[in-house]
Amino acid sequence: MSELEPIAPCRHMRGLLSRLADGTLSGLALWFARQHLGGCTRCRSAHAALLSLREQLARLHGGTDRLEGDRRERLEHRLDALEKQRPE
């Protein structure tokens, strides 16, 4: 059985790690975060966990469901009505 801990980075790194994980960190902040990660196991682990979480969240994107039949029908009627309100 593996061990798993809640993410517990150094307090001043919380916001930076989140942005590092989604690639929006830049400039001096990016340099600082990378320097810190180089010497801090706890933050490296937190960063890896955030990257993994983001991958899982991205996989939720999409779907194959469709509108139910009666709703699709009602939608088409409403679209027809909108067209009638706006004669060409």
Partner 1 sequence: MSQSATRQRFSEMLAQCEGLLLGHARRLTRGDDDRAQDLVQEALVRAYEALLSEKFKEGFRPCAWLIRILTNYFINDWRRTKKWDAGVTVETLTMGGELGPTSTRAPGVEEQLSERTYDEALERALAALPEGLRLSVLLVDVEEYSYAEAAEVLGVPVGTVRSRLSRARFALHARLVSVAREKGWVR
**Residues binding partner 1: what is the number (CB under 8 A)?**
41
Structure tokens, 64: 């194959």
Residues 5-24 that bind partner 1 (CB under 8 A): 5-7, 14-15, 17-19, 21-22, 24
Evaluate whether 36 touches 13 at the Cβ level (below 8 Å). Answer: yes
Cβ 33 to partner 1 shortest distance, Å: 13
CB 13 within 8 A of CB 46: yes
Check if the beta carbon of residue 21 is closer than 8 Å to that of residue 50. Answer: yes
Q: CB under 8 Å to 51, separation ≥6 — which residues? A: 21
Quick one: tokens of 39? 């010497």
CB 23, min distance to partner 1, A:
11
83 binds partner 1 (CB under 8 A): yes
Residues that bind partner 1 (CB under 8 A): 1-7, 14-15, 17-19, 21-22, 24, 49-50, 53-54, 56-68, 71, 74-75, 78-79, 82-83, 86, 88
